[in-house]
Structure 1
Amino acid sequence: MDYFTILNLNKEPFSNSPDPDYFFHSQQHVGCLQKLELSLRLKRGLNVVIGDVGTGKTTLCRQLIRKLRKDDTIETHLVLDPYFSTAHEFLLTVTDMLVADKPDKSEDDYQLKERIKNALFQKGVDEEKTTVLIIDEGQKIPEFCLELMREFLNYETNDFKLLQIAIFAQKEFEKTLEKYANFTDRINLYHRLEPMSFKDTRDMIQFRLNQSSAVAQKLALFTYPAMWAIFRATRGYPRKIVNLCHRSMLTMIIQNKTKANWFLVQSCMKRAFDSPRKRSWALVGTMAVLVAAAIVLVPRFMPERTPSIVSIQPESYEINTPRNNIATSDASTSIPIKDEVSHAGQAQAAKTEMNNAALLDTPAPEKTGTTPDENSSS
């Protein structure tokens, strides 16, 4: 049994597929759709719709195709992935769409352009049809394709363009347009899709529930605070709204609840938008805060160190004289010591002198104030 049947639903209300039946007519989406349809029917040429990821460009594109196909005088062609490797590949694709006979790969670019031009004149003038080329994921369009489309827009009569182009692209496409002024100058309609308001978010959730309801009465599966939490978490982006509502409904079934409240949405929000990349950055931020706190706080709790006193020993003086020619000195001829040396240094020097004399088996002279010559004479 499908999960949505437990909640009195006959279809999944929050599918992430661009189902035109679930296209919510918000004010900006309806306005964009009306402008596009009017521009295409008037054969004004080039139209561009720019929007961020998840703003509903693909759903709007499908809804436009659905409306145009109801008119037999309009022929629509859709390019889902416009990333072509060469200009020849793009020309082969367009030729295959517009020309009944399958193009030969051996044909050069000029031949393919001529076939495209003849097909457009035949459809637009002879058959009085409107040929529309719709391109999704327009930010992938190579630069050489822009030049070719600019040439296609030159195929025209005195009254209208023979080829109508509608491009749905992300914001990256704006940088490409800035580099090609000759292409940008031909844009008739330039529309930017923005996130929805809280009112549109609430109405979109209820609209999808009503579309999937298996009962006649209105389903109220989300409380007002829950809808506010959804809007704050998704910031009004339709794709994020759909994903968060889907997770909330699954949680309702698991927890055996009939209505999603604020707390349930909060718990689902962490699982829906907590990507591994965000978690890694959060871990890096936490580690940085801990390291900074350690640098600041650890020195405060460490004991203060008492400065150690280092004693500087004075230099020792050695007497390197021959055994038979020993010169002793009295107080007046003692070894000179610098004024900077302390009294302890003087005592150490005298002690060193006496040790040197003992090593040489010569008795240390008595310090009587007389010289050795005077002692011998006496």
Structure 2
Amino acid sequence: MTTPYYWSKKNEHEAALLWASIRDRRGLNVVIGKPGSGKSALCRELVRKYAGGDSGMHPMFLPSGQFHCRKDLISVLDGLFHKQLMSPEATERAIMDRLRRTLKTRSMEHPAPTVLFIDDVNRLHNDVWSVIHELLLDELDGQKTIQIVLLMRPEHFKAIHEHPNVMSRIETSAHVSPLSFSETHCFAIAQLKYLAPHRTRHISILVKFLFYAWTWGNPEAIRGVCASLVTSPSENPQKPMVLRLLQHLVLRETSGL
């Protein structure tokens, strides 16, 4: 059973814009939000809904965008798109040319777009931005051969302005907002409903969510989770453990909740 994801009304419109850009193969998109606001969760929910089939997408994830040089990113992409890597003696140019040929071939043979999600994008070296720019140069019938989605914090988005060749290619900027008290309450209740068949998995989701909410100072989110636990069935076998965790991790460390 798939982990439930709560579609915030504030973020639903942003997700629709992002999917429309991906579907139409417009090229580069960015998802902007504070840590723990749900950038990765939103993208993974899009993948869950639209991956596969002729009308969906072929997603690939890079969990971190902390590449220090051009060669680092090219080597990782070569491994994503090819089962057999080129020889260590192959030049960077040869690897990049093969990658671009592969993307063109995939674009011709598969109606669904190839989408590369790069999470946790920090300040990238100039050479790394040049790889992203080069990948977005190739088109087939007016559509980009690869769709790139960069997930980043607001302060890192400002760094793109230093690279006008990349900045000018951004089609959609989706701004993810943290969940409010009522939204978090609904999200946590959805998780608790699935505790019986998937206890450990969904408890870990709540624990992670609480950790982010606490660390990044979102008291409304913490209160939402607390409220969901109070209203959940008392016979829920996981409830005492989560309440103890709340007391230890959150309630003891925060005031005024």
TM-score after normalising by structure 1: 0.52
Map of 1:23-172 to 2, 5 A cutoff?
Answer: 23-71=5-53, 74-139=57-122, 141-172=124-155
The runs of 5 or more residues in structure 1 that have no matched partner are: 1-18, 215-229, 275-378
Map of 1:268-307 to 2, 5 A cutoff?
Answer: 269-273=250-254
**Alignment partner, residue 183 of structure 2:** 200
Code of the residue aligned with 1:66 in structure 2: it is: R
Secondary structure in 2 matching 1:172: helix
Secondary structure in 2 matching 1:136: strand
Code of the residue aligned with 1:59 in structure 2: it is: A
**Alignment partner, residue 188 of structure 1:** 171
Secondary structure in 2 matching 1:21: coil
Secondary structure in 2 matching 1:137: strand
Which stretch of structure 1 is more off in the superposition, 40-49 or 74-83?
A: 74-83
Give the superposition deviation at 1:272.
4.1
C-alpha contact 1:20 1:59 (8 A) present in aligned 2: no
User: Which deviations, in whole Å up to 9, do the C-alpha atoms of 1:13-48 show, x marking residues without a partner?
Assistant: xxxxxx961311211233333222221111011110
C-alpha contact 2:184 2:225 (8 A) present in aligned 1: no
Structure with the higher fraction of residues in strand conformation: 2
C-alpha contact 2:188 2:228 (8 A) present in aligned 1: no
- Does structure 1 residue 234 correspond to structure 2 residue 218? yes
Give distance in 2, aligned partners of 1:47 and 1:160: 14
Give distance in 2, aligned partners of 1:113 and 1:273: 50
Give distance in 2, aligned partners of 1:101 and 1:44: 29
**Alignment partner, residue 204 of structure 2:** none
C-alpha contact 1:91 1:113 (8 A) present in aligned 2: yes
Secondary structure in 1 matching 2:140: coil
How many residues were matched structurally?
229
Would the alpha carbon gap of residues 140 and 81 (structure 1) be closer, same or farther in structure 2, given more than 3 Å must change?
farther
Give the superposition deviation at 1:165.
0.5
The runs of 5 or more residues in structure 2 that have no matched partner are: 198-212
Question: Relative contact order: is structure 1 or structure 2 higher (C-alpha 8 Å, sep ≥ 6)?
Answer: 2
C-alpha contact 2:59 2:116 (8 A) present in aligned 1: yes
